[in-house]
C-alpha cells in the first residue's frame, strides 16, 4: 500500500499539501495527522484519495508512539512524508512564557525528528521527505528568536539527513518559504507582545508553496518556493548576521 503522511494536515500549509497530493494521485491512502479530528474528517470528504484521520498531538510522546505502533502493524510503503506541523510566536525573550517556548521547540524540532525517524524504515527508493522549515532559518531574528532558531535546527537536520539516506534512494528537502497566508499570524500574535512583528510582507498562498515544494522535492535539498525567500537565502550567505538582523529590525516595525 503506497501512502503519504502529512503532519499539521488540518489547516494551512499541511492541508494544502494533502490537497496537492490528492490532485497528483498515485497513492492508495493519505494519513493526515493533526489534533483536530473533525477538520481532518471534513477534509477527507473533499478528496478522491482516501484520507485516514489520525488525531494526534505530536508534542505528546505517547502520540508519536501510537503512530509508530500503527506503522509497525500495517507496514505501509510511505512514498511521501511531509512534516508540516509547527507554529511560531512573536515576542522577545521576556514576552513569552516558558510553556510557549517549550511547546515551540517540542513541535518544531523534537516532534519533526521523532516522526521522521519513525517513518523512514517504511520508505523505499524514490520516496521523499519534505521538512517544512522557513526562510527564518537562514539567520537569527530578534522578536522571532525561538521560532527562527527552531527552524535553523530543522534546516540543518534535513540537510544532513539527506546525505544519510541518499544510499537508500530517498530524497530529503528542506522547504524554506517566506510568509504564507495561513493561521500562523493569528497564533503568532497570541502572546504578551504580539505586535513585535507588525506585518507580513508579500505573503504567498499555501497552495502555491505546496505545489512548488512537491515539485522541488524531486531534486533540491533546499527549496525557498518564492523570490522573497530566495533573496533572503542569498543575502544570508554573503552578508554578516548583524547586517541581516539590522534590516529585519526595520522591516518588522513597518
- Which residues face 31 on adjacent strands? 5, 52
Decide: 251 and 153 in contact? Cβ < 8 Å: no
Determine which helix (DSSP H) or strand (DSSP E) holds 186, and give its type and residue range: helix 184-188
Closest among 1, 78, 24, 72 to 214, alpha carbons compared: 24
**Beta strands at 77-83 and 51-55: parallel, antiparallel or unpaired:** unpaired
In the block, residue with C-alpha cell 513585535:
196
Which regions of 63-114 does DSSP assign to beta strands (E)?
77-83
Pairwise CA distance, residues 10 & 56, whole Å: 11
Which regions of the chain does DSSP assign to beta strands (E)?
2-7, 29-34, 51-55, 77-83, 128-132, 171-175, 222-223
Q: Measured between alpha carbons, how far is residue 209 from residues 46, 84, 217 in Å?
A: 20, 12, 12
Q: Which of 90, 147, 179, 184 is catalytic?
A: 147
Our answer to whether residue 147 is catalytic in this structure is yes
Buried b (16+ CB within 10 A) or exposed e, 7-41: bbbbbbbbbbbbbbbbeeeebebbbbbbbeeebbe
Residues marked as catalytic: 147
Amino acid at each position: 500500500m503506497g501512502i503519504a503522511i502529512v503532519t499539521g494536515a488540518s489547516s494551512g500549509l499541511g492541508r494544502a499539501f494533502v490537497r496537492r497530493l490528492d490532485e497528483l494521485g498515485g497513492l492508495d491512502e493519505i494519513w493526515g495527522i493533526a489534533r483536530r479530528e473533525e477538520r481532518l474528517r471534513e477534509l477527507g470528504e473533499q478528496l478522491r484519495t482516501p484520507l485516514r484521520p489520525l488525531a494526534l498531538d505530536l508534542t505528546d510522546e505517547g502520540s508519536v508512539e501510537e503512530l509508530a505502533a500503527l506503522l509497525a502493524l500495517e507496514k505501509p510503503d510511505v512514498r511521501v512524508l511531509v512534516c508540516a506541523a509547527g507554529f511560531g510566536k512573536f515576542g522577545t525573550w521576556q514576552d513569552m512564557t516558558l510553556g510557549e517556548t517549550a511547546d515551540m521547540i517540542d513541535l518544531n524540532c523534537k516532534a519533526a525528528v521523532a516522526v521522521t525517524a519513525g517513518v523512514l524504515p517504511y520508505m523505499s527508493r524514490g520516496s521523499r521527505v519534505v521538512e517544512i522549515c522557513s526562510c527564518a532559518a537562514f539567520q537569527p531574528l530578534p522578536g522571532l528568536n525561538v521560532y527562527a532558531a527552531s527552524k535553523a535546527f530543522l534546516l540543518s537536520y534535513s540537510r544532513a539527513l539527506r546525505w544519510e539516506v541518499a544510499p537508500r534512494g530517498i530524497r530529503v528537502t528542506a522547504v524554506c518559504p517566506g510568509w504564507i497566508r495561513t493561521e500562523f499570524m493569528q497564533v503568532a500574535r497570541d502572546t504578551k507582545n504580539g505586535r513585535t512583528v507588525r506585518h507580513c510582507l508579500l505573503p504567498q498562498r499555501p497552495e502555491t508553496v505546496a505545489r512548488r515544494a512537491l515539485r522541488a522535492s524531486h531534486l533540491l535539498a533546499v527549496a525557498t518556493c518564492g523570490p522573497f525567500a530566495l533573496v533572503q537565502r542569498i543575502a544570508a550567505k554573503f552578508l554578516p548576521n548583524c547586517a541581516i538582523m539590522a534590516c529585519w529590525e526595520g522591516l518588522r516595525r513597518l
